[in-house]
Structure 1
Amino acid sequence: MTRDAYLGAQDRLGSMAKKETSENQPEKKGRVEIERNGPYVVSGNLPLSKEIICPDEDGEPLKWAAGEKYPPQEEYRLCRCGQSKNKPYCDKTHVKIDFDGTETASLKKYGEQADWVDGPDLILYDVQKLCAAARFCHREGGTWELTEKSGDKRCRETAIQQAGMCPSGRLTACDKKTKKALEPVFEQEITLVEDPEENVSGPIWVKGGVPIKASDGSEYEVRNRVTLCRCGESRNKPFCDGSHIPFEFNDGDKSLRRNKR
């Protein structure tokens, strides 16, 4: 499959997502706008909650569990510098600390950046720069190896599951015959990742094709799964690059043990 074929698959995915929205409900208007060196401004009454990474007996991420839910709001501002005393919301600490939130991530489309693994039944697309270190891709030899063995039904199903659980959208599994992106279907919402196995708080997970606007007015490609940095340390802002782990970012969630940053 070529990159152009992948982009076509993504276009079909977007059409499918719109079609699966109930015809009796108005199209959702959620969006995220980034303030220069400031917070994420979330509008459109997007639900906000926490999700917790649950490991298997070997400590590898296996599934997601629901965490705390926040009261609904039409608009709210989420901390981006990582040092708010009112996490997850912004309290303007970014002004006091002169936070440098310069956005350095590429505006290129996913398909223009992706490498891929060509398996018997699947093609796995991979944009390494988007990795948020959630590690769902590690089990059973890894999603890449499972893709190479995707002629086997179990390997195929596990590869699709692992790719779809990747919150950042780094990995995308596509059916080799239909060229269809095998994506989970999400409602538009925002969740805050907690990672007890690493004892850290993770990124902001933006689900369901929410538009994200950069502080200079540019628009990032709309994707089904996106993770935004909330520790303030990513080198690929606004996206998470896994820096919350070495910097031991902790928002004080009850699933974690360390004192909050």
Structure 2
Amino acid sequence: MDNAKYLKTIVIDKLIENEATVYEDVTIDESRLNLFLNGEKAISMMCIPMDQDAHAIGFLMSENVITSIDDIEELIVSEDGLRVDVKAKIDENSLQNLYKEKTLVSGCGGGITGNIEGSLEIPFNQTAFKVKPETISDEIKIFYRESELYNLTGCVHKAMVYLLDGTTVTAEDIGRHNAIDKAVGKCKIKRLDTTKSILFVSGRLSSEMVTKAVMHRIPIIVSRTAPTYLGVQTAHKHGITLIGFARGRKMNLYTHGGRIDV
């Protein structure tokens, strides 16, 4: 992947032990992505202009505006990469709820969601899918080690879906919510089954991060940092195994720990 086009070079003063040196550094070039749905502008999102088709699909499915990849008749990304046009069968109630609520979530990048508590009725996740703790420990090491844009800039988040057969699907963005939408969107485009998978995310496990796992029927979500109280409550209510502080061979199981095969 050519990540150079997403980077901008800047000049900074680097201070080391009270001595300043002029230093050339790189940072992410974030852009405004405009999403049009059936000819009408639906929303604008600040993001890295990569994987825009997956971003659009993941976001719309996370918000229940579309329920299946098969609902999409056409998806076009503009030549400059800053506009996505989607023609699809949509759930008008969910779309109007998104416009009505527009809750500013705590995910980095200032994400918007219409999935406020109680706005959607999602069945409790009762899957018997289990995973060894060693799998989580091994995969989270890979998750953080193989993050090219983060290693270059230090200012992006990452999401990874680990599937039953060991396949992984990853995405990076300035916002955790965007990264999740992109990773899951890639899975939907490839028609991969996420009902027996693990979602690895960077950063804290707040309620809207957990809600995305709920919407896509992903039974386990993992981070090496902490969850919020509402994140724990959301996971408990919907049958999601929530794991935080996954570092080395240690991890905290906050909800539904029976899926971890010990």
Which category describes the TM-score, using the shorter chain as reference length? Answer: under 0.3
Taking structure 1 as the reference length, the TM-score comes to 0.27
Larger relative strand fraction: 2
Q: Give the structure, 1 or 2, with the largest relative contact order (CA under 8 Å, sep 6 or more).
A: 1
Structure (1 or 2) with the greater helix fraction: 2
